[in-house]
Structure 1
Amino acid sequence: MDHKDLEYFRNLLTGMIEEAQNKGDSTIEEMTDNAEVFADPADRATMESDRAFTLRIRDRERRLIKKIKEAIQRLDDGSFGVCEDCGEEVGIPRLKARPVTKLCINCKSKQEESENQQNDL
Protein backbone atom coordinates (compact mmCIF):
# COMPACT_ATOMS: atom_id res chain seq x y z
CA MET A 1 0.00 0.00 0.00
CA ASP A 2 1.44 3.38 -0.93
CA HIS A 3 1.70 6.52 1.19
CA LYS A 4 -1.35 8.13 -0.45
CA ASP A 5 -3.53 5.14 0.47
CA LEU A 6 -2.24 5.12 4.04
CA GLU A 7 -3.03 8.81 4.46
CA TYR A 8 -6.50 8.24 2.97
CA PHE A 9 -7.23 5.54 5.56
CA ARG A 10 -5.72 7.57 8.41
CA ASN A 11 -8.03 10.48 7.53
CA LEU A 12 -11.00 8.14 7.12
CA LEU A 13 -10.40 6.45 10.49
CA THR A 14 -9.80 9.76 12.24
CA GLY A 15 -13.10 11.06 10.87
CA MET A 16 -14.87 7.89 11.94
CA ILE A 17 -13.57 8.12 15.49
CA GLU A 18 -14.54 11.79 15.79
CA GLU A 19 -18.04 11.04 14.50
CA ALA A 20 -18.49 8.09 16.87
CA GLN A 21 -17.27 10.13 19.85
CA ASN A 22 -19.59 13.02 18.98
CA LYS A 23 -22.54 10.64 18.76
CA GLY A 24 -21.62 9.18 22.11
CA ASP A 25 -21.37 12.61 23.71
CA SER A 26 -24.75 13.66 22.31
CA THR A 27 -26.31 10.39 23.52
CA ILE A 28 -25.12 11.04 27.05
CA GLU A 29 -26.43 14.62 26.93
CA GLU A 30 -29.82 13.44 25.67
CA MET A 31 -30.10 10.82 28.37
CA THR A 32 -29.31 13.28 31.16
CA ASP A 33 -31.70 15.90 29.72
CA ASN A 34 -34.62 13.43 29.66
CA ALA A 35 -35.15 13.13 33.40
CA GLU A 36 -38.95 13.05 33.26
CA VAL A 37 -41.58 11.79 35.64
CA PHE A 38 -44.31 9.65 34.10
CA ALA A 39 -47.72 9.10 35.64
CA ASP A 40 -48.53 6.33 33.17
CA PRO A 41 -46.52 3.09 33.63
CA ALA A 42 -46.77 2.38 29.89
CA ASP A 43 -45.07 5.70 29.08
CA ARG A 44 -42.39 4.94 31.64
CA ALA A 45 -41.85 1.46 30.10
CA THR A 46 -41.56 2.98 26.62
CA MET A 47 -38.99 5.49 27.87
CA GLU A 48 -37.01 2.72 29.60
CA SER A 49 -37.12 0.61 26.43
CA ASP A 50 -35.87 3.56 24.38
CA ARG A 51 -33.12 4.20 26.91
CA ALA A 52 -32.01 0.55 26.81
CA PHE A 53 -31.94 0.67 23.00
CA THR A 54 -29.88 3.87 23.10
CA LEU A 55 -27.43 2.29 25.53
CA ARG A 56 -26.99 -0.73 23.23
CA ILE A 57 -26.23 1.61 20.35
CA ARG A 58 -23.77 3.50 22.52
CA ASP A 59 -22.06 0.24 23.48
CA ARG A 60 -21.70 -0.63 19.81
CA GLU A 61 -20.17 2.79 19.17
CA ARG A 62 -17.77 2.26 22.09
CA ARG A 63 -16.64 -1.06 20.61
CA LEU A 64 -16.28 0.58 17.18
CA ILE A 65 -14.09 3.32 18.68
CA LYS A 66 -11.85 0.61 20.14
CA LYS A 67 -11.58 -1.09 16.72
CA ILE A 68 -10.81 2.23 15.04
CA LYS A 69 -8.03 2.94 17.55
CA GLU A 70 -6.61 -0.53 16.89
CA ALA A 71 -6.70 0.15 13.13
CA ILE A 72 -4.87 3.45 13.64
CA GLN A 73 -2.28 1.57 15.69
CA ARG A 74 -1.85 -0.88 12.80
CA LEU A 75 -1.32 2.11 10.50
CA ASP A 76 1.39 3.34 12.86
CA ASP A 77 3.16 -0.01 13.13
CA GLY A 78 2.89 -0.88 9.43
CA SER A 79 0.54 -3.86 9.71
CA PHE A 80 -2.59 -2.09 8.42
CA GLY A 81 -4.06 -3.84 5.41
CA VAL A 82 -2.33 -7.17 6.10
CA CYS A 83 -4.53 -10.15 6.98
CA GLU A 84 -3.88 -11.45 10.50
CA ASP A 85 -4.53 -15.05 9.44
CA CYS A 86 -2.81 -15.55 6.11
CA GLY A 87 -0.50 -12.53 5.89
CA GLU A 88 -1.78 -11.50 2.46
CA GLU A 89 -2.93 -7.98 1.62
CA VAL A 90 -6.54 -7.31 2.59
CA GLY A 91 -7.19 -5.21 -0.50
CA ILE A 92 -8.20 -1.58 -0.92
CA PRO A 93 -11.88 -2.27 -1.82
CA ARG A 94 -12.39 -4.33 1.35
CA LEU A 95 -10.62 -1.72 3.48
CA LYS A 96 -12.80 1.01 2.01
CA ALA A 97 -15.89 -1.01 2.88
CA ARG A 98 -14.65 -1.99 6.36
CA PRO A 99 -11.53 0.02 7.32
CA VAL A 100 -11.24 -1.63 10.75
CA THR A 101 -11.01 -5.16 9.34
CA LYS A 102 -8.10 -7.41 10.22
CA LEU A 103 -8.91 -10.21 7.78
CA CYS A 104 -8.93 -10.54 4.00
CA ILE A 105 -12.22 -11.57 2.43
CA ASN A 106 -11.17 -15.22 2.07
CA CYS A 107 -10.16 -15.61 5.71
CA LYS A 108 -13.26 -13.75 6.89
CA SER A 109 -15.46 -16.05 4.79
CA LYS A 110 -13.75 -19.10 6.29
CA GLN A 111 -14.21 -17.68 9.80
CA GLU A 112 -17.93 -17.04 9.24
CA GLU A 113 -18.39 -20.49 7.71
CA SER A 114 -16.72 -22.07 10.74
CA GLU A 115 -18.92 -20.03 13.11
CA ASN A 116 -22.03 -21.06 11.20
CA GLN A 117 -21.06 -24.73 11.42
CA GLN A 118 -20.50 -24.42 15.18
CA ASN A 119 -23.90 -22.74 15.59
CA ASP A 120 -25.57 -25.58 13.69
CA LEU A 121 -24.32 -28.14 16.20
Structure 2
Amino acid sequence: MRHLEILKLGDILNARLSYLEGISLAQSRHIKELNAQEIKDNADAVFLRSQIRLETSVLEKYRSEIVDIKNSLKKIESEIYGICEMCDDDISIERLKLKPHAKYCTSCREFYEDCKSKEES
Protein backbone atom coordinates (compact mmCIF):
# COMPACT_ATOMS: atom_id res chain seq x y z
CA MET A 1 0.00 0.00 0.00
CA ARG A 2 2.70 2.52 0.96
CA HIS A 3 4.57 1.79 -2.29
CA LEU A 4 1.54 2.74 -4.42
CA GLU A 5 0.98 5.89 -2.39
CA ILE A 6 4.63 6.86 -2.86
CA LEU A 7 4.30 6.39 -6.63
CA LYS A 8 1.25 8.68 -6.62
CA LEU A 9 3.19 11.23 -4.59
CA GLY A 10 5.98 10.98 -7.17
CA ASP A 11 3.47 11.95 -9.86
CA ILE A 12 2.34 14.90 -7.75
CA LEU A 13 5.97 15.95 -7.24
CA ASN A 14 6.69 15.75 -10.98
CA ALA A 15 3.62 17.85 -11.78
CA ARG A 16 4.58 20.46 -9.19
CA LEU A 17 8.16 20.48 -10.49
CA SER A 18 6.99 21.16 -14.04
CA TYR A 19 4.73 23.95 -12.83
CA LEU A 20 7.46 25.58 -10.72
CA GLU A 21 10.06 25.36 -13.48
CA GLY A 22 7.67 27.09 -15.87
CA ILE A 23 6.65 29.80 -13.44
CA SER A 24 10.29 30.34 -12.38
CA LEU A 25 11.30 30.92 -15.98
CA ALA A 26 8.47 33.43 -16.41
CA GLN A 27 9.41 35.11 -13.11
CA SER A 28 13.07 35.39 -14.19
CA ARG A 29 12.04 37.00 -17.45
CA HIS A 30 9.79 39.43 -15.61
CA ILE A 31 12.62 40.44 -13.28
CA LYS A 32 14.87 41.07 -16.30
CA GLU A 33 12.13 43.24 -17.82
CA LEU A 34 11.82 45.20 -14.58
CA ASN A 35 15.60 45.72 -14.48
CA ALA A 36 15.52 47.01 -18.05
CA GLN A 37 12.78 49.58 -17.40
CA GLU A 38 13.62 53.23 -17.75
CA ILE A 39 13.47 55.13 -14.47
CA LYS A 40 11.93 58.59 -14.78
CA ASP A 41 12.07 59.81 -11.18
CA ASN A 42 12.81 58.82 -7.59
CA ALA A 43 9.31 57.46 -7.01
CA ASP A 44 9.72 55.14 -9.99
CA ALA A 45 13.13 54.04 -8.71
CA VAL A 46 11.81 53.22 -5.23
CA PHE A 47 8.81 51.35 -6.61
CA LEU A 48 10.92 49.43 -9.10
CA ARG A 49 13.53 48.42 -6.51
CA SER A 50 10.89 47.16 -4.09
CA GLN A 51 9.09 45.31 -6.90
CA ILE A 52 12.34 43.65 -8.00
CA ARG A 53 13.12 42.66 -4.38
CA LEU A 54 9.66 41.15 -3.97
CA GLU A 55 9.82 39.28 -7.29
CA THR A 56 13.33 38.01 -6.50
CA SER A 57 12.21 36.79 -3.08
CA VAL A 58 9.34 34.85 -4.64
CA LEU A 59 11.70 33.39 -7.25
CA GLU A 60 14.11 32.24 -4.53
CA LYS A 61 11.25 30.44 -2.76
CA TYR A 62 10.30 28.71 -6.03
CA ARG A 63 13.91 27.67 -6.62
CA SER A 64 14.24 26.34 -3.08
CA GLU A 65 11.10 24.25 -3.53
CA ILE A 66 12.43 22.98 -6.88
CA VAL A 67 15.60 21.75 -5.13
CA ASP A 68 13.53 20.06 -2.41
CA ILE A 69 11.30 18.37 -4.99
CA LYS A 70 14.26 17.13 -7.02
CA ASN A 71 15.80 15.70 -3.84
CA SER A 72 12.52 13.95 -3.03
CA LEU A 73 12.34 12.47 -6.53
CA LYS A 74 15.90 11.16 -6.13
CA LYS A 75 14.88 9.61 -2.82
CA ILE A 76 11.94 7.87 -4.52
CA GLU A 77 14.36 6.41 -7.09
CA SER A 78 16.71 5.32 -4.30
CA GLU A 79 13.82 3.89 -2.29
CA ILE A 80 14.57 6.09 0.71
CA TYR A 81 11.68 8.52 0.21
CA GLY A 82 9.53 9.24 3.22
CA ILE A 83 12.29 8.78 5.79
CA CYS A 84 12.89 11.65 8.19
CA GLU A 85 16.30 13.27 7.67
CA MET A 86 16.61 13.93 11.39
CA CYS A 87 15.49 10.74 13.17
CA ASP A 88 15.33 8.18 10.31
CA ASP A 89 11.73 7.25 11.18
CA ASP A 90 9.07 7.03 8.49
CA ILE A 91 7.27 10.26 7.65
CA SER A 92 3.54 9.59 7.80
CA ILE A 93 1.69 9.29 4.51
CA GLU A 94 -0.72 11.96 5.78
CA ARG A 95 2.17 14.42 6.15
CA LEU A 96 3.59 13.49 2.75
CA LYS A 97 0.18 14.04 1.15
CA LEU A 98 0.14 17.54 2.62
CA LYS A 99 3.77 18.26 1.72
CA PRO A 100 5.18 15.63 -0.66
CA HIS A 101 8.70 17.06 -0.40
CA ALA A 102 8.76 17.00 3.42
CA LYS A 103 12.21 16.32 4.88
CA TYR A 104 11.13 15.72 8.46
CA CYS A 105 8.44 13.82 10.34
CA THR A 106 5.97 15.94 12.29
CA SER A 107 7.83 15.59 15.61
CA CYS A 108 11.20 16.56 14.16
CA ARG A 109 9.66 19.45 12.20
CA GLU A 110 8.17 20.83 15.42
CA PHE A 111 11.56 20.44 17.13
CA TYR A 112 13.26 22.20 14.19
CA GLU A 113 10.76 25.07 14.29
CA ASP A 114 11.19 25.45 18.07
CA CYS A 115 14.98 25.63 17.72
CA LYS A 116 14.69 28.08 14.85
CA SER A 117 12.36 30.39 16.78
CA LYS A 118 14.68 30.32 19.82
CA GLU A 119 17.62 31.31 17.60
CA GLU A 120 15.66 34.26 16.23
CA SER A 121 14.71 35.48 19.73
Q: Residue 84 of structure 1 aligns with which residue? A: 85
Q: CA contact under 8 A between 2:86 and 2:108: conserved in structure 1?
A: yes
Q: Which runs of 4+ in 1 moved over 6 A?
A: none
Instruction: Give 1:68 shift.
Output: 0.6
- Mark the CA change 1:4 to 1:116 in structure 2 (over 3 Å): closer, same or farther: same
Q: Residue 65 of structure 1 aligns with which residue? A: 66
Q: Residue 101 of structure 2 aligns with which residue? A: 100
Aligned partner letter, 2:42: P
Q: Residue 8 of structure 1 aligns with which residue? A: 8
Post-superposition CA distance 1:3-30 (Å, at most 9, x none): 3212111111111111111111111222
> In 1, distance between residues paired with 2:39 and 2:117?
44
Post-superposition CA distance 1:56-90 (Å, at most 9, x none): 11111111111111000111111111122222221
Q: Of the two structures, which has the highest relative contact order with CA contacts closer than 8 Å and spacing of 6 or more?
A: 2
- Mark the CA change 1:116 to 1:22 in structure 2 (over 3 Å): closer, same or farther: same
Q: Residue 109 of structure 1 aligns with which residue? A: 110
Question: Secondary structure of the residue that 2:101 maps to in structure 1?
Answer: coil
Question: Secondary structure of the residue that 1:85 maps to in structure 2?
Answer: coil
Give me the TM-score of the superposition, normalised by structure 1.
Answer: 0.87
Runs of 5+ unmatched residues, structure 2: none
Aligned partner letter, 1:90: I
Q: CA contact under 8 A between 2:31 and 2:56: conserved in structure 1?
A: no
Give me the TM-score of the superposition, normalised by structure 2.
Answer: 0.87
**Same amino acid, percent of matched pairs:** 21
